[in-house]
Chain A
Amino acid sequence: MRLTGKTVGLLMLGAGYVAAVVLMVWRAAEEARPDRVTIRVSQWQLEGGVRQAFAAMIRRYEQLNPRVHVELISIPDRTYRQWAQTQLIGGDAPDIVEYGVDFNSVGRFFSPITDEVMKPNPYNRGTPLEGVPWRDTFLDAMMNADGFNPQLNQYYAATLTQHSMRMIYNRPMLREITGSDQPPRNYREFLALCERVQAFAREHRRELSPIANSKDTVIGEAMFIFECSASGVAARIDHRHVYGFTSKELAMSYLRGDWSFREPELRIGLELLQDLGKFSTPGFLQLSRDSGIMDFVRQRTLMVVAPSWEASSLKELCDFDIGAFRYPVPLQDDPVYGSKMLGPYADGRLATLMGMYVNRATKHRAEAIDFLHFITSVEGNQIFTDVSTWLPAVVGVKASDYSRQFLPIYDGYIWSLDGGFLNLSGDDAVALVRNNFFQLWGPNGNPEKYRAALDDGLKPRIISDLKREIRIRTQTLTREDAAALAARQLAPGAAGPVALLPARLEGRTFQMITTVREAEREAAK
């Protein structure tokens, strides 16, 4: 028989159908097994080592709990959000789902773990964390965007790691260019190194730039640099006196005229960003994250801007020795900017990441919580850290020798809870900030052009973002009212008031409404 393209296509379709049926039957059979519970876990980290780390944690967990089988589902990050939300809406999502609070609908899809977090993690027996409430075994006491949801006033996700932004460098190349493999210690030394690299490239006619960068990775580094330089402004506008604000609160503060990008500290921030772009690969704003990394791997740059989660991949890809250092943002002793700087700076908020949420519809909540206990225990998180070479999230878990150079520094000033000045209010404001990068880093760009583009366009975008946020918050309020009442009906003897969302949180929504209305009135004048 002759195989035509059509026949091959039909055969492939048939094979796909059979495979899907077999998978469905197998899954149904697994779920029906009386002697074993199967829980499914989904996540999107495909970087080097993470899937292997999950496999190692699952192996050990199943050894300890032969009655429970854990299936890992890894989905690429580009499609993950859509995939997860489709599964959640369809009621077929895994029992544990890696999710991000910025995907929205946390309250709708996931069940809180507030009741569990004050109890000890049973897998920490025999360790220094024995008897410590689960919450306090995390480096940040679960005070991260996924761990504790301030809008819903509930704990939701257990986290596995933390991260930092670093400049990763090629040690042999640094030695070749400067005679030493020691990275720069301050901003002036950093600028001098970048200029030295450019001179070296000219002298040796090599295609070489100081820094590999991309439109994706520059965002994290730019946010870090800008937050550091904005420390003085932040201290002035902390009207709630809590040493911090969310990006939405910062956006409200912008609408109320508390600050603009004309502030002297923010102008310095823009100049620092200009320097970063000046020494980055030409045209980096057109490059994807992978292209930026390949520039470094192929030794076309001395350094690469990289979040620590890329470090495990870079270790596999580079055939040369690499080191890492923190971008040396100027401090009070800088001869040019020192008088306006307020450091030392922290590497962002102490916030552990990779939020693993419990599906509200799971039939195996107890097993899901138990698995989360294990992977966030001293033993489980040590396995994760050792195999992935990512950073730990749990107190007492040791970073590997390699990942130690990426350990964040938290002793320092940090005001923003979630990205701050370059991550304002929501999609519209963020799009303005990012779509205008060319005004700063393009061929004729400069800090003043970028500043003007931001200040000219920000107010209407913040207003549209906040209006969307108000709608979401109001929906949440109304839904949670019903859920709180139902919870009370299920526990009729419960004392005290109904566990509605605290009024102070609802009050923040009213503050947002008031701010937006005033800004709209102002704009209409």
Chain B
Amino acid sequence: MRDPGRRLARGAAMVAGVLLGVAALRAAPAAPDPAWTALARLRADDALREFARGNRPEEERDFGTAVALLARQPIAPEQVAAARTVFARLADHGSGEVAPASRYFLGRIAQHHLEVADPAEAARQYRRLIAEHPDSIWAQTALTRLALLELYPATAAGSPAAAVAAAEALLDHAKLPAARSEIHLVVADAIFFYRLPAAQALPHLLAAEKIGLLDAPTRADTLIQIAEVSVLAGDRARARRYYEAYLADFPLDQRRFMVRQKLAGL
């Protein structure tokens, strides 16, 4: 006959072992998801294989598979169509972030993935996303892409000035500073591209600089642009301020020579 004390001790040890195991599992950092890791490394084939293994919720599997299909080279129209079908379903019925992300990708597919781009459809998807999920990071990201569709080509809006005005109107929906900054920059860039009066770009450049999210190369460009356009607008004091800010903040940038020449000429 077995000793009940030993059985109890063995049982307690087993429970303790399981608990310790669970604790260890919780303490150990979770291994990065292999499917998303493969996709982050642009290995779409590997990602598709990992998503197909099925150890994840169906919705995430479908979403991940659709994203990977858009990245798998060489791109075939059939795989883009397959991804589009999945995104369309998830955009209407997905949960959490999956729904707005899928809507965003529907816009993206129309904008860039189709053999013949469909900018009108892309804009429709982005607008719907912005209307349905205004606070979502996907809607905020879509705003900047919609701004590009408003700006290029300007014929859609009727004239470059009308295109710029349409893009500027999107600022009302931009809640994240990053989205605002980016819209200001794309609008300023379009003003220069269409050769509209350069001074029109000034408020956008100033706003983007003030928001303070510019990476170093963009900030160097922006400071010079503000100074240069200020010269054209006759505001020498502001030009001087921004030339000097550039010189102070970019000691290794080669354009310092030209900036110093401009400063000397003010």
Contacts and interface: CB of A to CB of B under 8 A. Distances in A.
A242 B189 CA distance: 11
A67 interface: no
B174 to A, nearest CB: 10
Nearest to A138: B252
Contacts of B179: 497
A477 B112 contact: yes
Given A143-B253, A153-B215, A504 B186 contact: yes
Given A482-B44, A502-B182, A503-B182, A141 B252 contact: yes
A477 B105 CA distance: 12
A346 B257 contact: yes
A349 B254 contact: yes
Given A136-B252, A498-B137, A507-B152, A482 B228 contact: no
Nearest to A495: B137
B125 interface: no
A411 B257 contact: yes
Given A107-B42, A241-B192, A504-B182, A483 B252 contact: no
B109 to A, nearest CB: 9
Contacts, number: 153
Given A143-B253, A241-B224, A243-B255, A511 B144 contact: no
B99 interface: no
B41 A360 contact: yes
Contacts of B41: 111, 360-361, 483
Given A412-B257, A481-B108, A510 B152 contact: yes
Nearest to B71: A482
B39 A139 contact: no
Interface string A130-174: 000001101111010000101001000000000000000000000
Contacts of A498: 137-138, 141
Nearest to A410: B254
Contacts of B141: 497-498, 500
Residue among A141, A506, A507, A511 facing the most chain B CB atoms (10 A cut-off): A507
Contacts of B113: 478
B99 to A, nearest CB: 14
Could you tell me the dominant secondary structure of chain B's interface residues?
helix
Given A490-B40, A506-B145, A513 B252 contact: no
Q: How many of chain A's residues touch chain B, expressed as a range?
A: 35 or more
B208 to A, nearest CB: 9
A108 interface: yes
B39 A483 contact: yes
A360 B38 CA distance: 11
A489 interface: yes
A490 B29 CA distance: 13
Interface in B224-266: 224-225, 228-229, 250, 252-255, 257-259
B37 A490 contact: yes
Contacts of B217: 143, 148, 150
Given A474-B112, A504-B186, A511-B152, A350 B254 contact: yes
A410 B36 CA distance: 45
A244 interface: yes
B130 interface: no
B157 interface: no
A413 to B, nearest CB: 7
B107 to A, nearest CB: 11
B49 to A, nearest CB: 15
A496 interface: yes
B123 interface: no
A507 B112 CA distance: 13
Nearest to A412: B257
Nearest to B152: A510
Contacts of A111: 41
A503 B257 contact: no
A434 interface: no
Contacts of A485: 39, 67, 101
Residue among A107, A242, A412 facing the most chain B CB atoms (10 A cut-off): A242
Given A503-B182, A507-B148, A241 B258 contact: no
Contacts of B190: 507
Given A490-B32, A498-B137, A503-B145, A241 B186 contact: no
A239 interface: yes
B153 A517 contact: yes
Interface string B38-63: 01111010010000000000000000
A431 interface: no
Contacts of A489: 33, 36, 64
Contacts of A136: 252
Nearest to B139: A497
A444 to B, nearest CB: 40
21 contacts: A107-B42, A111-B41, A143-B217, A239-B195, A240-B192, A243-B258, A410-B254, A411-B257, A413-B257, A474-B112, A481-B108, A483-B71, A487-B40, A490-B33, A496-B178, A497-B176, A502-B218, A503-B186, A506-B148, A507-B148, A517-B153
Interface of B: 32-33, 36-37, 39-42, 44, 47, 64, 67-68, 70-71, 75, 101, 105, 108, 112-113, 137-138, 140-141, 144-145, 147-148, 151-154, 176, 178-179, 182-183, 185-186, 189-190, 192-193, 195, 198, 215-218, 221, 224-225, 228-229, 250, 252-255, 257-259
Interface of A: 107-108, 111, 135-136, 138-141, 143, 148, 150, 153, 239-244, 346, 349-350, 360-361, 395, 410-414, 474-475, 477-479, 481-483, 485-487, 489-490, 496-498, 500, 502-504, 506-508, 510-511, 513-514, 517
Closest 6 CB pairs of A and B: A503-B144, A510-B152, A486-B39, A482-B71, A241-B228, A486-B40
Given A497-B178, A502-B185, 10 more contacts: A111-B41, A349-B254, A474-B112, A479-B42, A482-B39, A482-B44, A482-B67, A486-B40, A496-B176, A504-B182
